Amino acid sequence: MEGPKPSRSEDYSHIVSFLNEQLRPDQEWSIANEYPTAITPHNHLNMHIVKDEQKIVSHALARDLIIKSPMSLFKVATIGSVVTDSKYRNQGLSKKTILNCLEAGAERGCDFALLWTDLHDFYSKMGFQLAGSEISYNLDRPVRQSGEPLNYIEGNRVSAQAIAQLYNKHTVVSLRNASDIQKYLSIPAMRVYTAWDASNRLRAYAVEGKGIDLHGYIHEWGGDLPDLFSLISFMQKKNNMSYTFIAPLHSQNLHRQLQGLGFKSNHGYLGMFKILNARSLFLKITNYARSVGLVDFVLEAHEGDQFVIGRKGKTYQTDSLQEITSLIFGPSTPNQLKDFDPETRQIIEKILPLPMWVWGWDSV
């Protein structure tokens, strides 16, 4: 057995064949088309493999995202395409491959790793935990029409540049250029809807489905709310179907409006997180706190995995990275951790949870 180790460029086509055989046996498209910025020859060093007699038997990849939030830029290793050949399972190969991927991610300076899965017990063995927030709504009846007449188009032959402009108005985004968006627009089994005004300006977009995932989910969207709601109404009417609409917790105006229309919000997790560089992550958070005048805010990582949070003179210490992770990304609130005094609690709540989100096209 050889590995786990980063793949070489000549392994790339074998990896894609292995992933297609194992994970997409009945699809007419290649898995590489579903994850065009992750499964690509450029990312081969972040694709970790185990070989047995020259044959790939286990794989996991990381694709780095730079996430821009009002607080800071975060470097995030998103982990995906984790699979071991069925004949080689339960020998610890995936665990080793994932840990190898995470170690490399930490060395590249990633603040944390993030993945999406139903196998919570499996990934918790590698230190991942459910955290962050995803708010969803079942849009089972018309949302609302804006007064202005818009022209609605279904199809992916739309300007990546126009989508980029609306996308970049979001509070939290991963850095993408128009060429990334162009690749995302070609993902199979995905429906893209856009709304245009009389002067042919893109006013809203909404994306449903993504390869074998996210059928019925609107996971990427943008535009002002009246325009977006009109677009969704058009989708509901045209396809005579309801949609699950997912949104970040920090989209407060959107939540107010949907809840005002009588839609019930469901609180889920954003994904499974694992902090890789606590010091760098905590420094970004404390720098932000200082920049907004909260000079007493304390969040530190000490030798021996001791973590300290609070305000100067009133700190709370824990050796549980889990507690700290759940406080940083949510959903824990300070009170669920400890009986902080009101002033400390207020300071922490001004900073945490971090506004964090990954749009659907970026999931791996």
**Chain positions contacting ligand COA, by CB under 6 A:** 58, 82-84, 89-95, 117, 119, 121-122, 125
User: Of the two residues 90 and 200, which places its CB atom closer to ligand COA in the complex?
Assistant: 90
Q: Output the CA angle 340-255-332, nearest 5 degrees.
A: 25
- Minimum gap (Å) between residue 253 Cβ and ligand COA: 33
DSSP-derived secondary structure for 288-304: HHHHTT-TTEEEEEETT
CB of 330 to ligand COA, least distance (A): 22
Please give the full DSSP string across 211-234, using - where no structure is assigned. Answer: TTEEEEEEEEEEE-HHHHHHHHHH
Nearer to ligand COA among residue 29 and residue 88 (C-beta): 88
Of 113 and 150, the one with the shorter C-beta distance to ligand COA is 113
Residue 253's identity, in one-letter code, is: N
Closer CB to ligand COA, 122 or 152, in the complex: 122
The nearest distance, CB 131 to ligand COA, in angstroms, is: 17
Q: How far is the CB of 285 from ligand COA (least distance, A)?
A: 29
In the complex, minimum distance from the CB of residue 95 to ligand COA, in angstroms, rounded to a whole number: 3
- Rounding to the nearest 10 degrees, give the CA dihedral for residues 98, 104, 110, 113: 0
Q: Which H/E stretch holds residue 14?
A: helix 12-23
Which is closer to ligand COA, CB of 86 or CB of 200?
Answer: 86
